[in-house]
Amino acid sequence: MAITPISWAAGVESPSVMAGGKKVSFADHLNRFLDQLEQSQNKANATLRDFLTGEAELHTVMIAAQEARLWLELSVQLRNKLVESYQEISRMQI
């Protein structure tokens, strides 16, 4: 039994193709997301370090910490959805 791919509507670009025509896989998107998460964590740590040395304001530290927290919450929710999707697929009968 052959599986036919989903065809996209005219004028709608496939999600695996970026504007430059370069193919981007799900793993590439996930790696880019995880890099952004790591950057936000590093920025929050650097801002806290700057605050402790007297180089940054408290509100800057709070903003960076909140941004890092939101990225972490988003990554946890993404992980939960991926696990849920995997479990749903594994329960499917073929």
* Tens-digit pLDDT profile for residues 24-47: 888 899 999 999 999 999 999 999
The verdict on residue 17 lying in a domain is no
Three-state DSSP state, 80: helix
Average model confidence (pLDDT) across the chain: 86
Total domains, the chain: 1
The token duo for 29 is: 């998107």
pLDDT of 62: 97
Give the integer Cα–Cα distance in Å for 29 and 31: 6
Give me the phi and psi of 90, to 5 degrees please: -65, -20
Q: Is residue 1 part of a domain?
A: no
Residue 33 lies in a domain: yes
CA distance 15 to 83: 21
**Residue 94 belongs to some domain of the structure:** no
Segments forming the whole domain that contains residue 58: 26-88
Beta carbons of 36 and 71 less than 8 angstroms apart = yes
Name the pTM for this structure.
0.70
Place of tokens 């599986």: 3
Structure tokens at 94: 């073929």
pLDDT at 23: 83
